[in-house]
């Protein structure tokens, strides 16, 4: 037994006055003329319609199968066909662009991880290998390196938009907080990733960075020891940074992006503030 179809996918009943032929009913329309050519054409068209219907059955049946087992159709429909408020403009694409930059980092990062070797003796050589020998390796590494810059810029632009549009106010306070945590995690991503190529600049900048952490009161020295994996910079430091960079923080970021998006879908994106101001003025004029 086939499951009931979601309403959006059910075949629509023919509209009154509409031409027959859409639902395979073209046969009677063709009987009027005795022209064999027209008859042939009509038959061919009917055949094509029937095949189209059959082809449509496949995705409908698949979607129905999925829906029966997951109940995801109402959720997907609510997500895709939810309304965005009037005045939604290009500024509202900054968030999704940030997420896209993160996806770019994830994909290029996976490719780099296939060749990278996080040990103090091998790391530099494996990065050289990626740049010089691996097919398109330099491009992928460049996309990862510059993708981080683009992502940070987009994060700040997205935050600026949210700030100046007052979009962090009721009822979206929690989403702002999640966003700030995502900003901190993005910066932590950049900090841990900077060491991985293990060239001079990466090494010494990270030494200074960890020393900066160590200067913090009370917890600072412990945090620095944790990052280094001991009192001195060594192989543990590199593998530790690598694990944090490619396992811990990306997992956190992905989970928090999920929460961020859930809240966006649930609460809706904010409308541009000037629309409200205009409306208020209109109302005030009416009242006068």
Partner 1 sequence: MDQRQREQYLREYGIQKSKGKPFFPYAILKDGTMACITLAVIILLAVILGAEIGPKADPTTTSYDPRPEWYFFFLFELLRVIKPPAIVFIATIGIPTVCMVLLILLPFIDRNPERHPARRPVATFTGITVIALMTYLTVSGALAGPPGTISLKTPPQYQAGKLVAAESGCQGCHKIGENGNPGPGPNLTHIGARLPRNAIARTLVNPTAPMPSFSALKRQNPKKFNQLVDFLAQLK
Cα(123)–Cα(203) distance, rounded to whole angstroms?
12
- Closest approach, Cβ 207 to partner 1, in A, equals 5
Q: Does 79 bind partner 1 (CB under 8 A)?
A: yes
Site string for partner 1, 243-272 (x = CB under 8 A): -------------------------x-xx-
Among positions 110-149, residues that touch partner 1 (CB under 8 A) are 120, 124, 127-128, 131, 138-139, 141-149
Cα(79)–Cα(88) distance, rounded to whole angstroms?
16
Using CB under 8 A, which of the segments 20-28, 163-171, 240-248, 249-257 binds partner 1?
163-171
Task: Go through the chain and tell me how many residues it has.
Answer: 288
Terminal-to-terminal C-alpha distance of the chain? 65
User: Which helix or strand (DSSP H or E) is residue 75 part of?
Assistant: helix 73-80
Site string for partner 1, 197-216 (x = CB under 8 A): xxxxxxxxx-xxx-xxxxxx
Cβ neighbours, 10 Å, residue 264: 17
Q: Does 176 bind partner 1 (CB under 8 A)?
A: yes
User: Which helix or strand (DSSP H or E) is residue 223 part of?
Assistant: helix 220-228
Among positions 36-75, residues that touch partner 1 (CB under 8 A) are none
Nearer Cβ to partner 1 (67/175)? 175
Q: Does 6 bind partner 1 (CB under 8 A)?
A: no
Q: What is the DSSP letter of 92?
A: G
Q: Does 109 bind partner 1 (CB under 8 A)?
A: no
- Closest approach, Cβ 181 to partner 1, in A, equals 8
Q: What is the DSSP letter of 169?
A: S
Site size for partner 1 (CB under 8 A): 91
Taking the alpha carbons of 81, 71, 97, 180 in that order, is the dihedral positive or negative?
positive
* Position among 21, 117, 168, 252 found at the interface with partner 1 (CB under 8 A): 168
Question: What's the token pair of residue 188?
Answer: 């932590």
Q: Does 279 bind partner 1 (CB under 8 A)?
A: yes
Nearer Cβ to partner 1 (22/161)? 161
Q: Does 169 bind partner 1 (CB under 8 A)?
A: yes
Q: At what angle do helices 94-115 and 137-164 cross, to 10 degrees?
A: 150
């Amino acid at each position: 037994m086939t499951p009931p179809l979601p309403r959006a996918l059910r075949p629509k009943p023919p509209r009154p006055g509409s031409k027959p032929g859409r639902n395979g009913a073209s046969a009677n329309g063709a009987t009027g003329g005795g022209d064999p050519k027209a008859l042939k054409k009509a038959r061919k068209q009917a055949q094509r319609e029937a095949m189209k219907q059959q082809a449509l059955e496949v995705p409908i049946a698949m979607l129905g199968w999925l829906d029966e087992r997951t109940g995801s159709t109402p959720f997907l429909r609510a997500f895709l066909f939810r309304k965005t408020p009037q005045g939604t403009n290009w500024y509202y694409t900054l968030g999704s662009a940030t997420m896209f930059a993160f996806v770019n980092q994830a994909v290029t990062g996976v490719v780099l991880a296939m060749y990278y070797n996080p040990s103090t003796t091998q790391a530099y050589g494996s990065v050289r290998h990626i740049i010089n020998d691996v097919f398109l390796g330099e491009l992928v590494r460049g996309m990862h390196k510059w993708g981080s810059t683009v992502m940070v810029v987009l994060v700040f632009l997205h935050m600026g938009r949210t700030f100046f549009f007052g979009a962090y106010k009721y009822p979206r306070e929690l989403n702002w907080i999640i966003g700030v945590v995502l900003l901190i995690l993005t910066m932590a991503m950049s900090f841990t990733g900077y060491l991985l190529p293990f060239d001079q600049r990466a090494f010494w900048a990270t030494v200074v960075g960890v020393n900066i952490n160590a200067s913090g009161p009370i917890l600072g020295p412990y945090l620095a020891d944790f990052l280094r994996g001991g009192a001195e910079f060594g192989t543990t430091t590199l593998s530790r940074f690598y694990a944090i960079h490619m396992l811990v923080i990306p997992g956190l970021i992905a989970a928090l992006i999920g929460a961020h998006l859930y809240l966006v879908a649930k609460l809706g994106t904010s409308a541009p503030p000037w629309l409200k101001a205009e409306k208020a003025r209109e109302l005030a004029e009416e009242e006068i």
